[in-house]
Amino acid sequence: MAALRLLSDSHSWLSYIFLTRGAKPAKMLDMAHSFLIFEFGGNEEAAQHARHKIDAWKQGYRLDKKLQVRFERDEPEAGQDKTTAEAPKSTAKEKGKPGAKSKSGAKASSKADAPAVDHSKIRLIVRLDFSDHEKLSHQRWVERIPTEEPFKTANPKIVRAGAPEFKTTSDLFDSLD
């Protein structure tokens, strides 16, 4: 009976809807992510060391969902490696001196290995996903991570929400697995 009286009055009907269904606060915003991008070039060892360091932090500080890591690897095409490897060998054959052949042949093999490492590009993308009431923790991690040892030399770049490249970085992070 009491419910029928509430339904008959239009003013009471509106208060009934808002009381039964929780209203969302006006200043409630979705959590924004921050991205830290580190470019390791071709240094796979440093990139793996950085990943192990982040995994240790995730386990030690219980940051499983708040600190996520993805790798972006850009490998050079196979055709580019063959052309860089063949160019030094052809110059060694043109010289025609027996002593020069052996020396330049040794240099050619070392040069053929070096461009493959230099052309590869390894980027480590770290997403910090702290809620609004953890702003201090978020700020401390943004300041701490780029100052640690494997990250110092990796050209750290911070992309915060609202930055022009934030959307592209977010899409890239979601596409990587």
Question: Strand pairing partners for 159?
Answer: 35
* Residue 133, domain member (yes or no): yes
Q: What is the dihedral of CA 102, 106, 112, 113, to 10 degrees?
A: 160
Please give the tally of structural domains in the chain: 2
Q: CB neighbours of 127 closer than 8 A, spacing ≥ 6?
A: 33, 34, 35, 67, 68, 69, 70, 173
Confidence of residue 107 (pLDDT cuts 50, 70, 90): very low
Tell me: do 147 and 70 sit in the same domain: yes
**Distance separating alpha carbons of residues 125 and 55, to the nearest angstrom:** 13
Same domain, 153 and 92: no
pLDDT, tens only, 123-139: 999 999 998 889 999 99
Task: Indicate whether 5 belongs to any domain.
Answer: no
Please name the residue that has the structure tokens 């850009």: 74
The answer, as to whether pTM is greater than 0.85, is no
User: Does 163 map to a domain?
Assistant: yes
Beta-ladder partners of 71: 124
In a domain, 12, yes or no: no
Residue 20 falls inside a structural domain = no
User: Band of the pLDDT at 9, cuts 50, 70, 90?
Assistant: low
- Same domain as 86, residue 65: no
The residue segments making up the domain with residue 84 are 78-117
- 10 Å CB burial of residue 125 (0-12, 13-18, 19+) is buried
